[in-house]
């Protein structure tokens, strides 16, 4: 793989990827736990596990074949690794400080979830495994907050649900208000308008004009150059 990544020690070439081996799985769990413990020690109130957008946890949930028998095949097996990671983090820092973000059927970065019945079964298995833990919140990224899949997962979770419509549209006040008013979710995740308007809540409450998001200012120098 060509290219470089940027971490706190500077720029580094990408390591050559390899299929995750079964013996490596416990170490991955511990890395998540260490990261969350460090965040709490640094003063964060809580941390959200990223189980969406094609990243590692999402890859286990997706339908493509996986080399490890205990985490492939059935919906329960595909959900197993994510449940184990969430459980390990909860045991380390507490459920009230732990959240999980998912993006069912988002189909991004190679995490293909194109079979509706399979997606519904996989994420139902995931929610069944994490609901008893009493997480602080479940964040769901989906283009349609009223979608049957989203609402089914929300009801199964039986806890605070945050909804995020993704990158295709910029959430307006009316969009956010409709989500809450219709009971589709408990809160709405807003990105770009909040970046451009640090006082977004006040502006929405008072009907004030908003600054337009400027994508060229989203990242500081050195991050993407």
Dump pLDDT digits (tens) for 25-47: 889 999 999 999 999 999 999 99
> pTM to 2 decimals?
0.86
In a domain, residue 132? The reply is yes
CA distance 123 to 102: 9
Q: How confident is the model at residue 196 (pLDDT cuts 50, 70, 90)?
A: very high
Judge whether residue 17 has pLDDT over 80.
no
In a domain, residue 16? The reply is no
C-alpha 32 chain-centroid distance = 14
In a domain, residue 15? The reply is no
pLDDT value for 47: 97
Q: How confident is the model at residue 159 (pLDDT cuts 50, 70, 90)?
A: very high
In a domain, residue 3? The reply is no
pLDDT value for 64: 62
- The CA distances from residue 216 to 85, 132, 219, in Å, are 35, 42, 7
Question: Where residue 102 sits, what CATH number does that domain have?
Answer: 3.20.20.70
Q: What percent of the chain has pLDDT over 90?
A: 68
Q: How confident is the model at residue 161 (pLDDT cuts 50, 70, 90)?
A: very high
Pick the catalytic residue from 8, 55, 173, 219: 55
Judge whether residue 69 has pLDDT over 60.
no
Q: What percent of the chain has pLDDT over 70?
A: 92
In a domain, residue 209? The reply is no
pLDDT value for 94: 98
Judge whether residue 225 has pLDDT over 60.
no
In a domain, residue 213? The reply is no
173 belongs to the catalytic site: no
Q: Are residues 187 and 201 in contact, defined by beta-carbon separation less than 8 angstroms?
A: no
In a domain, residue 106? The reply is yes
Q: How confident is the model at residue 1 (pLDDT cuts 50, 70, 90)?
A: very low
pLDDT value for 2: 59
Q: How confident is the model at residue 72 (pLDDT cuts 50, 70, 90)?
A: low
Sort 101 into a burial class: Cβ within 10 Å, 0-12 / 13-18 / 19+: buried
Rounded to an integer, the average pLDDT of 6-25 is: 82
Host domain of residue 71: 24-140+149-162+179-187
In a domain, residue 54? The reply is yes
CA distance 176 to 149: 19
Please tell me the total count of domains within the chain: 1
């Amino acid at each position: 793989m060509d290219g470089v990544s940027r971490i706190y020690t500077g720029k580094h070439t990408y390591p050559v990827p390899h299929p995750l081996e079964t013996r490596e799985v416990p170490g991955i769990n511990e890395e998540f736990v260490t990261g969350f413990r460090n965040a709490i020690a640094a003063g964060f109130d809580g941390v959200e596990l990223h189980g969406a957008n094609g990243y590692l946890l999402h890859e286990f949930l997706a339908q493509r074949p996986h080399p490890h028998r205990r985490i492939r095949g059935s919906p329960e097996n595909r959900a197993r690794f994510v449940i184990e990671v969430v459980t390990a983090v909860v045991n380390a820092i507490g459920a009230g400080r732990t959240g999980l973000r998912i993006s069912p059927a988002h189909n991004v970065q190679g995490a293909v979830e194109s079979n509706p019945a399979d997606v519904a079964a996989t994420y139902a298995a995931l929610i069944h495994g994490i609901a008893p833990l009493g997480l602080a919140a479940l964040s769901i990224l989906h283009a349609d907050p009223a979608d049957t899949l989203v609402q089914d997962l929300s009801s199964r979770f039986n806890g605070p649900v945050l909804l995020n419509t993704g990158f295709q549209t910029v959430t307006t006040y009316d969009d956010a208000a409709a989500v809450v008013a219709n009971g589709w979710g408990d809160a709405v995740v807003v990105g770009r308008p909040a970046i451009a308007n640090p006082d977004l809540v006040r502006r929405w409450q008072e009907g004030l004009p908003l600054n337009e998001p400027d994508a060229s200012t989203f990242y500081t120098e050195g991050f993407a150059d």
